[in-house]
Amino acid sequence: MSMHPPSTRAAPQLDVQAIRQQFPILGERVHDRPLVFLDSAASAQKPNAVIDSMANTMRHQYANIHRGLHWMSERTTEAYEGVRDLVADFLNAPSREEIVFTRNSTEAINLVAHSFGALLRPGQAVLVSQMEHHANLVPWQMLRERAGIELRIAPITDAGDLDMDAYSALLADGKVALVAMTHMSNVLGTITPARQIADLAHAAGAQVLFDGSQSVVHHKTDVQALGADFYTFTGHKLYGPTGIGVLWARRDLLERMPPFLGGGDMISTVTFEHATWANIPHKFEAGTPAIVETIGLGAAIEWVSKIGFDAIAAHEADLTAHALERLVGVPGLNIVGSPRVRGGVGSFTMADVHPHDIATLLDRNGIAIRAGHHCAEPLMRRLGLSATARASFGIYTQKEEIDVLADTLVRIRDFFV
Amino acid sequence: MTTITAERDALYDRLIVERARAPLYAGRLDEPDLQGDGRNPLCGDKTHLDIALNGHHIRDIRHQTRGCAICTAAADLMVEHVRGGTVAQAVEMSERFRAMLVGPSPVVEGQSAPLGALEVFAPLRSHKARIRCAELPWIALKEAFSHVDG
């Protein structure tokens, strides 16, 4: 089992205790036990830096943006647009104008399905994988119904890796206009070989979208190095607030694509008969955006960047290795998938104990995990499962918490069997 | 040190664990008069009921359940309680079971028309996410009865 690069050898150590001090919620107790939060893949907790930046915005420096001629509006516009620079830098995007703010990753993918989808014609295809979150499947199904395109599904191996031969074969006829693929599975933890996926897609004349919702949290993202054409992520998994997500797309694509939503802020001129569109990225940001949340996302990016992805990736690789070692020792436990490269997310099942019973009993012991189909029903069917339990790790997760999880799982198994 | 045993009283009564492990009424009937299905799309749990009637009496009933401990035990205990009674009694019991889980006030012990062993599910009132698990077999029962006149 290999972990995601970079190599852990020279990686700076993370002071987990100092980090935990910055997350007030981690001091809470649940059912009279210390909170063990192992559900960061669903949504991460928030550090003081994010909480304070949002509260301070509302306390001291808030007004609507872009059109205001007064001091408060101008300062708030600067703060909001400053986050666009931060995000561009975070993704190594060539230009800040290529950063579009959305509500979340789901909305970003829907934007592409709507606006890039409007350029597609019957006979063309969109290709996704078997391990997509519903967010990167349903919008393409909807596009198929609307536009008469074909939707192709690239299979995965039993280990939980993309089947690269099958993927290549699905590209061979040159009809695929867009490959839309997860960069990291929210169920299996699989980190997909993005560069290879992109190269094969481009060779077949397709554009590539990566759903980075899970992966941006765990390692440095460079959209240019990945060879991506579209990249999406969401703020709330990156220790930022809910209600703010990001679409990055190549400038020429954004310029060719029609708007997604119509309204204020996205126009150039409007008459009763007609409207013309604003330049990118504003063409895709209709209405008053999530100003406070965007500023909160900026705080999260600054906070994470200060810690650095070398340290974060090394910490999480260490946790994942520890978790695999400990969970394998739990009687009856089966870890779902063994992908070549995996991030800090792992699903498991337990013989004779249903995932929901596992989750409820863990919760009664203060341990928060997720159970169910994880918004990936087709993947569950592919794996022959109806549900799994999933533990996921974050920057604040401690090895001791994984030990508590493993010990409690042993007792749950004893209780039921 | 946390204990699981403490949970025995709170949510997973011994009876629930036993019936989930070894249900007494699991299986199919050869020639059912009624059939009903319940499916929870959130977790993929499902239960199938076969019912044999004798007039308005439930002569025999079996369930086939793929689900969590609460769902499986709820199906088995439901079958045990409605078996031999009338359809009308089962419907009335279903209403009282639902009231126990989501009604305006919890069922008080010693109240008239107790639910007997079905009261082991009463603690689910404070576990809203899991109420659906215990209700699933009753949903299947309602579906089966929807094919009955009067």
Question: pLDDT tens digit string along A341-385?
Answer: 999 999 999 998 999 999 999 999 999 999 988 888 889 889 988
Q: Within a domain: residue B7?
A: no
- Number of structural domains, chain B? 1
Token pair listed for A76? 């708030």
Computed over every residue of chain A, the mean pLDDT equals: 94
- Number of structural domains, chain A? 2
DSSP code for B48: E
Chain B contact for A75 (CB, 8 A cutoff): no
pLDDT the model gives residue A264: 86
Is A290 found in the same domain as A155? Answer: yes
Report how many Cβ contacts below 8 Å link chain A to chain B: 64
Of A365, A387, A416, nearest to B43 by CB-CB distance is A387
Q: Within a domain: residue A36?
A: no
A32 min Cα distance to partner chain B (Å): 10
Q: Within a domain: residue B19?
A: yes
- The residue length of chain A stands at 417
d(CA A406, CA A387): 19
Beta-sheet strands, E only, within A92-140: 99-102, 125-129
Residues of B with CB under 8 A from a CB of A: 2-8, 10-12, 17, 20-21, 42-45, 66-71, 127, 129-130, 133
pLDDT more than 70, % of chain A: 97
Is A166 found in the same domain as A119? Answer: yes
Confidence band for A10, pLDDT divided at 50, 70 and 90? low
For A111-129, the pLDDT digits (tens) are: 999 999 999 999 999 999 9
d(CA A170, CA A128): 10
Question: Is the model's pLDDT at B3 over the cut of 60?
Answer: no
A375 is catalytic: yes
For B130-139, the pLDDT digits (tens) are: 999 999 999 9
Kindly report the CATH number assigned to the domain that includes residue A12: 3.90.1150.10
Reference A293, options A2, A50, A66, A15; nearest CA is: A50
**pTM of the shown model:** 0.91
Kindly report the CATH number assigned to the domain that includes residue B59: 3.90.1010.10
Confidence band for A386, pLDDT divided at 50, 70 and 90? confident
d(CA A126, CA A140): 7
Residues B38, B143: contact at Cβ < 8 Å? yes
Q: Spell out the residues 6+ positions from residue A117 whose beta carbon is closer than 8 angstroms to its own.
A: A143, A146, A147, A149
Is A390 found in the same domain as A280? Answer: no
The stretches of A92-222 forming alpha helices (DSSP H) are 105-115, 138-147, 164-171, 194-203
User: How close are the terminal C-alpha atoms of chain A, in Å?
Assistant: 31
d(CA A189, CA A68): 45
Q: Within a domain: residue B138?
A: yes
Per-residue pLDDT, averaged over A329-343, amounts to: 94
Structural domain boundaries, residue A10: 2-30+308-416
Is A328 found in the same domain as A238? Answer: no
Which of A305, A334, A361 is at the close of a domain?
A305
Kindly report the CATH number assigned to the domain that includes residue A294: 3.40.640.10
Question: How many CB atoms within 10 Å of residue A114?
Answer: 18
Q: State the complex-level ipTM.
A: 0.84
Residues A124, A150: contact at Cβ < 8 Å? yes
Question: What residues of chain A lie within 8 A of the CB of B45, using their CB?
Answer: 354, 356, 386
Which of A282, A305, A328 is at the close of a domain?
A305
d(CA A183, CA A15): 28
Per-residue pLDDT, averaged over A5-32, amounts to: 83
Structural domain boundaries, residue B28: 13-106+113-145
Is A187 found in the same domain as A119? Answer: yes
Per-residue pLDDT, averaged over B60-70, amounts to: 96
For A79-115, the pLDDT digits (tens) are: 999 999 999 999 999 999 999 999 999 999 999 999 9
Beta bridge partners of A246: A101, A233
Reference A96, options A312, A296, A267, A251; nearest CA is: A251
B20 min Cα distance to partner chain A (Å): 9
Which of A276, A305, A334 is at the close of a domain?
A305
